[in-house]
């Protein structure tokens, strides 16, 4: 069974409230994103109030409901991606508690599979 097939049979419900991200929480997220962009050479984007978030395969696979906010990790295509090599690590700071398993899952969903080598 490949990862896509495993994700299709996995039962998961992620239901969120319609509470807006604003004020101090928004400021902290934006500060963490700026720091992450500087250290990672990515273009991390905070997407807010997007009613079409997690549509398509991801919504059917993970039973996402009411998702309106998300982070997009955008990077330049380079030799590592052409060779299916990917590196992910948590950065220090108040927003550092990443679940790298979820990061890998979402990356591979967005990249539509592939035989990725993680380091």
**DSSP track, 32-99:** HHHHHHHHH--EEEEE-S-TTTT-HHHHHHHTEES---EEEEE----HHHHTTEE---PPSSTT----
Q: What does the pLDDT read at residue 23? A: 96
Q: What does the pLDDT read at residue 30? A: 94
At 29, is the pLDDT very low, low, confident or very high (cuts 50, 70, 90)?
very high
H/E element holding 30? helix 23-40
Specify the residue for token string 């991390």.
Answer: 44
At 21, is the pLDDT very low, low, confident or very high (cuts 50, 70, 90)?
very high
Write out pLDDT tens, residues 80-117: 767 777 777 766 666 555 566 667 777 777 776 667 77
Write out pLDDT tens, residues 37-76: 888 777 889 999 987 776 665 555 556 677 888 888 787 7
Question: CA–CA separation, 30 vs 24, rounded Å?
Answer: 10
pLDDT over 70 (residue 36): yes
| 108 closest CA partner among 76, 84, 89, 90 | 84
């Amino acid at each position: 069974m490949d990862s896509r097939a495993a994700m299709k049979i996995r039962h998961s419900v992620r239901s969120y409230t319609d509470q807006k991200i604003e004020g101090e929480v928004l400021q902290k997220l934006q500060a963490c994103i700026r720091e992450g962009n500087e250290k990672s050479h990515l273009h991390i984007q905070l997407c807010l109030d997007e009613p079409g978030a997690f549509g398509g395969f991801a919504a059917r696979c993970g039973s996402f409901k009411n998702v309106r906010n998300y982070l997009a990790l955008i990077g330049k295509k380079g030799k590592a991606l052409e060779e299916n090599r990917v590196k992910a690590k948590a950065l220090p700071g108040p927003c550092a508690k990443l679940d790298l398993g979820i990061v890998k899952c979402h990356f591979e969903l967005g990249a539509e599979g592939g035989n990725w080598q993680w380091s």
